[in-house]
Amino acid sequence: MSGLTPRKGLVRLLLIKSFADLFFVLALAVSFSFRTFEPRFRGNVDEADALHVAGWAINAADPSSRVEVHLYIDGRFIANTRTGRSRPDVVAAKRIKEAQSGFEFRLPPLDPGEHEARVYVVHRSADNARLTLQLLGRPITFRVGENPVENGSRGGSEVRGGQ
């Protein structure tokens, strides 16, 4: 006699089925995330001050394509644009091969004080049914001074964060 009673056999089959179901759900989740979130975007926010926010972004799967980016200041949408500005410094640093990967946002007047800029790459699903925003680099903090002359100069705005 084998020691495997019908009840133990049923429990073993239910456990095997549960693990099979778990692996199936995990496979679906991984597949969905790769289709929804574009893991091939790279870039950084290099500068932020009272007048502008600038950086670079590429889609590593298609480096010559222009990437759509959105700017948020203090959690509020400010503007969107596409890459296309020349960034030979990033090419020289061997971070990218495509020089036209830069972006720049001109900022509206901001209240004096500390602000946080976040730039997101926009990824559209294959069927254009969904838009996903992927944070580019890290949030970057900058300070807007009380003096308009100070805000117009690079030296007048302190920048922290980025990569």
- Same-domain status, 83 and 64: yes
- 73 and 125 both lie in a single domain: yes
- Could you tell me which residue, 62 or 117, shows the higher pLDDT? 117
Over residues 119-136, the mean pLDDT reads: 84
- Could you give the number of structural domains in the chain? 2
User: Rounded mean pLDDT of 20-41?
Assistant: 77
Residues 94 and 26 in one domain: no
Average pLDDT over residues 94-108: 86
CA–CA dist 156, 109 (Å, integer)? 15
Residue range 81-85: mean pLDDT, rounded: 94
User: Does residue 114 have a pLDDT over 70?
Assistant: yes
> What is the per-residue pLDDT for 140?
94
pLDDT band at 35 (very low <50, low <70, confident <90, very high): low
Residues 32 and 65 in one domain: no
Helix (H, G, I), strand (E, B) or coil at 27: helix
Q: Please tell me whether residues 56 and 84 are part of one structural domain.
A: yes
Do residue 31 and residue 49 come from a single domain? no
Same domain assignment for residues 134 and 56: yes
Q: 124 is in which domain, residue-wise? A: 41-161
Residue 7 has phi, psi (to 5 degrees) of: -70, -45
16 and 71 in a common domain: no
Residues 81 and 115 in one domain: yes
21 and 70 in a single domain? The answer is no
Q: Indicate the average pLDDT of the chain.
A: 82
d(Cα 110, Cα 61) in Å, to the nearest integer?
A: 36
Cα 102 to Cα 126: distance, rounded to the nearest angstrom? 25
Residue 144 and residue 124 share a domain: yes
pTM for this entry = 0.68
67 lies in the same domain as 107: yes
